[in-house]
Amino acid sequence: MKFLLNAINKVKPHFEKGGKLEKYYFLFESVETFLFVPPDTTRNKGVQIRDAVDLKRFMMTVIIALLPALVFGTYNVGYQYYQATGLEPGSSWDLWWVGIQRVVPIIIVSYVFGLFISEFAFSVIRQHPINEGYLVTGLLVPLVLPPTIPLWQVAVACVFAVVIAKEAFGGTGMNVLNVALVARAFLYFAYPAYMSGDQVWVYLGGHTPVDGFSGATPLAIAAATLESGQSVVSALAEHSDMYSFANMFYGLMPGSIGETSTLWILVGAVILIATGVGSWRIMLSAFAGAYGLAWLFNIIGHNPYMQMPPEYHLVMGGLAFGIVFMATDPVTAAQTNTGKWIYGALIGILTIIIRVLNPAYPEGIMLAILLMNVFAPLIDYFVVGANKKRRLKRATV
């Protein structure tokens, strides 16, 4: 490491002001910051240091919280592959190997095109530092996509999300919409055939699925009951134990790479809450809002989807993943404590409304979060305004 540090210090003057590679300084700085602690110190008098958490440590905490869902999701890709093809794995490593072969290339493409091409290009063109924001986005994007997604589509989506949802607004910390969700929304509406359908959610590797296999997600099965009239629970039960409540909670079912296991997503939630990185107010209010409206629909019960037990909504689709890792994005979420309660509750409520009342789009968490991203500043505006009125009222009494 000392040799590497000496090498970096030796070439550093070429990238500093007046050097022949001056315009690439921010690229050099990003590499130096990634490898070593920045040598810069604060010189202004009166500066108060609150703690040791900087943007890099903040982002690394989120990545650590994502690892349980990533590791399980990689295993589940292989598990679903062998379930679908009817082949027998020689060992558990065979399941892992299939998952690694599908998941790792998606992650690599996400970082190459989102970070090393898009972010670096804007750093040189606009002459601004490269922030660590895409370290998390680059992992979030693969986790919200099906394992069968073509790699070229991942590349296009990442470039689109960085340019339109992030750099167009000024870069890290200035974006209005969650960048990873913009990438998924782009793929969903631009290439719907690759983002929905029974065979999308399970990697087959060129093999023909066994007779009777269906890669449909629980939400797709639930939406289909609107036409069949069959209860959701019995429709899920027809897929043996795959769609039992317990199995959906553990996550051994078709779905996006990182969204299937509510258990491991909640482990990530504990990490975020314990470190203070994720807002427990948003998580709790979002889950409560989703459960509350699902319970109300269950009482009304005009169709089988409404009659589905409310707890099923919490373990189906990407609701848990969206609430824990997307809704809590500190840039696009509400900033005030009261606003976080309102913001989270509305995300949960809107998710259930979109799921139950729009059979053409059974999943609702993505659109719910994107919509509330837009309204988050407005929520904070009214919360702060209400606080001012209360304080003025007390001051004049």
Domain boundaries, the chain: 15-35+59-206, 247-253+278-388
Report whether 186 contacts 160 (CB < 8 A).
Answer: yes
Comparing C-alpha atoms, which of 388, 371, 269, 394 is closest to residue 336?
A: 388
pLDDT by residue, tens only, the chain of 397 residues: 666 656 666 666 666 666 666 555 555 555 555 555 555 555 554 555 555 556 667 788 999 999 999 999 999 999 999 988 888 998 889 999 999 999 999 999 999 888 776 666 666 666 656 666 678 899 999 999 999 999 999 999 999 998 888 877 877 777 899 999 999 999 999 998 888 776 788 888 878 888 767 677 888 888 888 778 888 888 888 876 788 899 999 999 898 999 999 999 999 999 999 999 999 999 999 999 999 999 999 998 888 888 999 999 999 989 999 999 999 998 999 999 999 999 999 999 999 999 888 867 767 899 999 999 999 999 999 999 999 888 888 877 6
Residue type at 210 in one-letter notation: V
Residue with tokens 């990545």: 63
Q: At what angle do helices 280-300 and 262-274 cross, to 10 degrees?
A: 140
Report whether 352 contacts 364 (CB < 8 A).
Answer: yes
Residues 6+ apart with CB under 8 A from 221: 232, 235, 236, 239, 243
Sign of CA dihedral 53, 54, 57, 60: positive
Residue with tokens 């590497």: 4
Report whether 15 contacts 21 (CB < 8 A).
Answer: yes
Report whether 322 contacts 366 (CB < 8 A).
Answer: yes
DSSP run (H or E) holding 7: helix 2-15
Task: Using alpha carbons, list the distances in angstroms from residue 312 to 68, 231, 236, 317, 386.
Answer: 22, 13, 11, 10, 37
d(CA 297, CA 354): 13
d(CA 160, CA 151): 14
pTM of the model: 0.85
Residue with tokens 């994502």: 66
Comparing C-alpha atoms, which of 281, 237, 261, 279 is closest to residue 73?
A: 261
